[in-house]
Amino acid sequence: MAPSWKLLRQSLADVAVPPLLIKYEVGASNYKLWLTDLTHIWAETLAQRPLVQRAWEIDSEIDPIEIDQRERLLRHIKDALDEVKGTKLVLSNENVSNRLTLKGKCPLPKPLKPLIWPFRLLLEPQSTLTNELILPLMAQQLAMCNQVSLLLATIKDKDHVIGKLTDKIQSEGVDLGKVFPSVASSKHGSKAKVREHLAKSVPGLGVFNKDHFESQGPQELDVSGSTVDLLSQLSVNANGLTSFNMIQQSTLGAWWEDLGAEGALEADEKQDFSGSFSQHS
At 225, the pLDDT band (50, 70, 90 cuts) reads very low
Distance CA 124, CA 98 (A): 9
Handedness of CA 68, 69, 70, 76 (dihedral sign): positive
Is the whole-model pTM more than 0.85?
no
Q: Rounded to whole angstroms, what are the CA distances from 133 to 31, 62, 64, 215?
A: 18, 34, 32, 28
The whole-number pLDDT of residue 164 equals 84
**Which range has the worst mean pLDDT, 3-7, 236-240, 254-258?**
236-240
Contact 276, 116 (CB under 8 A): yes
- Written as one string, the DSSP assignment of 159-186 is HHHHHHHHHHHHHTT--HHHHSTTSPP-
The whole-number pLDDT of residue 121 equals 96
The whole-number pLDDT of residue 166 equals 77
**What values do phi and psi take at 82, rounded to 5?**
-75, -10
Reported as a single tens digit per residue, the pLDDT across 1-25 is: 678 888 887 544 444 677 889 999 9
**Which range has the worst mean pLDDT, 29-43, 97-111, 166-180, 255-269?**
255-269
Alpha carbon 264 to chain centroid distance?
A: 21
Distance CA 73, CA 71 (A): 5
Distance CA 75, CA 104 (A): 12
Distance CA 88, CA 11 (A): 10
The whole-number pLDDT of residue 275 equals 42
